[in-house]
Amino acid sequence: MVDKITKLLIANRGEIAVRIIRTCRRLGIKTIAIYTQVDSGAMHVRLADEAYSLGSDPYSYLNIYKIVEIAKRSGADAVHPGYGFLSEKAAFAKAVEDAGIIWVGPRWSIIDMLESKSVTRSIAHSIGVPVVPGALSPVTLAEAKKIAEELGFPILLKADRGGGGRGIRIIKSFEELEKLFNVAVEEMKTSFGSDKVYVEKFIPRARHIEVQILADHYGNVVALGERECSIQRRYQKVVEEAPSPIVTELERAKMYDYAVRFMKHVKYSNAGTIEFIRDEYGNFYLIEVNKRIQVEHPVTEMITGIDIVEQQIKIAEGRELEIRESVRKFNGHAIEARIYAEDPNTMLPSPGIITWVEFPRVEYVRIDHAIAPGIEITHFYDPMIAKVIAQGSTREEARVRLVKALSEFRIDGIKTSIPLLIEVLNTREFIEGRFDIQFLVEFFKQRKIT
């Protein structure tokens, strides 16, 4: 049964809200924005067909009750959660579904099951999808010590529930494990509402590579290619690209098999991402599933020509996937750079009011943003303010276009990470594709940035 979506509430803000509005306009779907008092002049509020206030609390984007009430009051057919905030909270998805409103994402029960990374690892292991050696369930300190003795140090201590790269600690000795275990547990309880942790082997020289998946309600699952996400700072992605410069055709086929097998097994529907670690020998290990659209989805869109938000909406309406085969041929290469409102010399936040914006005019470059003169960047939310995505027939052509676009991008009133991004993109390691998830650690050490 197909339920046509005519009015969609976007339970988010910033560039992802604006990006969703863009697709909805093309599909003839009316959009509803929500906003807090500090966001009353925000771009997503200006562009949506309707806008409703969440009140003065800047953290009301996390208020399930308020958002669902606005969705009902506004006559929304559907809710799109974007990424971050409540996008992977089963309780929010359930509240939306219980209100008789379409949730643009996987079913709440799937979100609830896969919110636990150890459950995800256990499922993958049971169906022959490799996971990083380590615990398949949450551990006590005593159990963590036993596993560490078997694996050898270093190990990773990770939050069972959480996201965005937070809740991860590299542990190098029994002394560190003894000292940090309970501290980590308390921190994770405060941050994620769960005190469960697990441990896994630390993979040196690892690459972080993920596979974009689309799945409908009829058992059809396809992969749209992989993304290279190894340029990270504190486990937060900074530069992403598609396809990966290191993945071979044989490796891609293997990743597709793992990703599609997993999603079919759990009866996943809508867009999702399987995240893998690739070791220096070409082995892949599943680490988690992102049950939402990803920040870096534009690079996949650029090389496939597929609007992932449009596909999300159609799947949520109950339509079958129009794409029945995983994508194996790509339209060149795409690279994305995330621009943060941060001082490039210290990486400290740089809140303030944007006084001037001059966008670059470079062919085959896309800019996802929610900025304009007069927009205030506050300290309440993630400091990412824009993404610049460049496409080229080759990786080098995409890189050159991206550097040119960043060089021409002018944002006055606040400091941004643009100079740092240009420097990273111009390193010999990036140009030659010789980097791993520790690359920025060494890069920042040389620049004396912590």
Beta bridge partners of 154: none
The number of angstroms, rounded, from the C-alpha of 250 to the middle of its chain's C-alpha atoms is 26
Contacts of 98 (CB under 8 A, 6+ apart): none
CA dihedral defined by 353, 354, 356, 362, rounded to 10 degrees?
180
For 117-122, the CB contacts below 8 A with 24+ separation are 117/158, 117/159, 117/160, 117/161, 117/198, 117/287, 117/288, 118/160, 118/196, 118/198, 120/286, 120/288, 120/289, 121/198, 121/200, 121/286, 121/287
Spatial contact of 126 and 106, defined as CB atoms under 8 Å apart: no
**In Å, how far are 116, 148, 435 from 155, measured between CA atoms?**
19, 7, 21
- As given in the structure block, the two tokens for residue 41 are 């002049």
Burial 120-148 (b: 16+ CB within 10 A, else e): bbebbeeeebebbebbbebbeeeebbebb
Contacts of 207 (CB under 8 A, 6+ apart): 228, 230, 244, 246, 277, 278, 436, 437
User: Which single residue is written with the structure tokens 């003894």?
Assistant: 178
Residue 104 φ then ψ, to 5°: -85, 85
Q: How far apart are CA 65 and CA 109, in angstroms?
A: 19
Going by DSSP bridges, is the β-strand pair 7-10/30-36 parallel, antiparallel, or unpaired?
A: parallel
Q: 352: alpha, beta or left, given left = phi > 0 and alpha = psi -120 to 50? A: left
Give the residue numbers annotated as catalytic, written as ranges. Answer: 292
- As given in the structure block, the two tokens for residue 289 are 């599933």
Burial class (CB in 10 A: 0-12, 13-18, 19+), 303: buried
**In Å, how far are 111, 159, 190, 323 from 103, measured between CA atoms?**
12, 26, 28, 21
